[in-house]
Structure formats: structure tokens, C-alpha cells
Amino acid sequence: MAADFNAFQTKLGFQFNDADLLRQAFTHRSYLNEHRGEVKGHNERLEFLGDAVLELIATRFLYEKFPTQPEGDLTAYRAALVNAVTCAEIATEIGMNDHLLLSRGEAKDTGRARGILLANAFEALVGALYLDQGYDAAREFINTHLFPKIDQIIEKKLWLDAKSSLQEKSQEFEGITPNYAVLREWGPDHDKHFVVGVHIKDKLIAEGEGKSKQDAEQAAARAALDVRGW
């Protein structure tokens, strides 16, 4: 295991039993093309697993933290808590960006594109930790780094439906309903990414990126609310 991964583990307070599993969590598919035989595989399967583990643990946390909230609100809280923006933010905070294994081309990505890579790697790390040390270790990790975000999400109302808010404001100030269009999409069926643009009066106001069209539309709506100061 490279020294940087040892330092990463020490910083977070855990030690993987399977060093290759941790390295795989940081490995993007593109890296394999330039480093054949160096790593056993990329992180997409771990991301798939980690996404499910993350959602289960977050669901239980929210169910217990908000015992009187209806299912609809809890679903919205969860969506805001485990979305790509939040996961990328945590990945950055714990230093994952310094250890991503990317192709030379992918390594040049910045902004939203790098954010998606970080979010995917964070989910893969959760999946790897679950496989290596079990549910309780994964829950402790998520409890430490993810759940403190919920207070800010509630305070800033980040859980509210951004598309509904934008529609209300657009109708109030512009007299028209916004419309959305997919600008770009890429990736295999199990790992699609979308960039959606939101238009008001045929003018592109903002763009948003997500793993589904719905997530991308929400991201675009949030960005448009910021652009218009609504």
C-alpha cells in the first residue's frame, strides 16, 4: 500500500484489512487503460454497493432523528443528504481528491466534473469499508462525516424541491414556467451522467449535473435560483 493511502487511513482513524480494496475505491475506470495490471479493478461496483449502504444507513438515521416527520419530508431530507454535491463536499474535506487514481485526461477535470468523480469515489469508499469491516464500521464512518451536514441542510432549506421553488418564482417575476433540456449525457447504463439546462423565455439561465435527469434538473434549478437571486 502506498504511503499516501496509509496516511489517509491514519487521518480517518481506520485501517483496511484488504489494502487492494481501498485502492480500488479510488480507482477510476480510465486509470486502468493507462496502468494495466497495476490495480485489480475500478470502483464502479464498489460505488454501486456503497450507494445502497449509504442510503440504508441514512434512512435509519433520519427515521430516528425526526420521529414525527412524514415520509415525504424524510425522503427529501435523504435526497439532500446523500446527493452528489454533499458526497463530493465530504470527499474533499477528508482529502480524497489528493488520492484519486485517474487517467491523464480525467485528472484535468475541474469543477462539476471533478465533483462527480469525488462523489462516486466517496460512495465506493463506503462500499469498500462495508466489505472490509462490516456494517457497524460503515455506519460509524458515515455518522462522523455525513450526518453533521443535516443541520445545515435543514437550516438552509436545501431539502426543498428546487424545481417547484424556481417555477413559483419564475411565474411570479417572469410570468412563465421554466423548461429543462438535456445538454449532455455520457457513461454506461449503470453509471449515466446528465447535464441539464434550465431555460426561462428561451434563455439558458443555468446548468446542473447529476446521475439522473431528475437530479440534474434539481441541480440546474438550484443554480438558477442563485443566478437570479431568488
Catalytic machinery residues: 51, 123
158 burial type by CB count under 10 A (0-12 exposed, 13-18 middle, 19+ buried): buried
Please count the other Cβ atoms lying within 10 Å of the Cβ belonging to residue 26. 24
CA distance 50 to 54: 6
**Which are the contacts of 150, defined by CB distance < 8 A and separation ≥ 6?**
62, 65, 77, 81
| 3-class SS of residue 164 | helix
Sheet of 193-200: strands edge to edge?
179-186, 193-200, 203-210
| 3-class SS of residue 5 | helix
User: Considering only CA atoms, which of 88, 148, 98 is closest in space to residue 124?
Assistant: 88
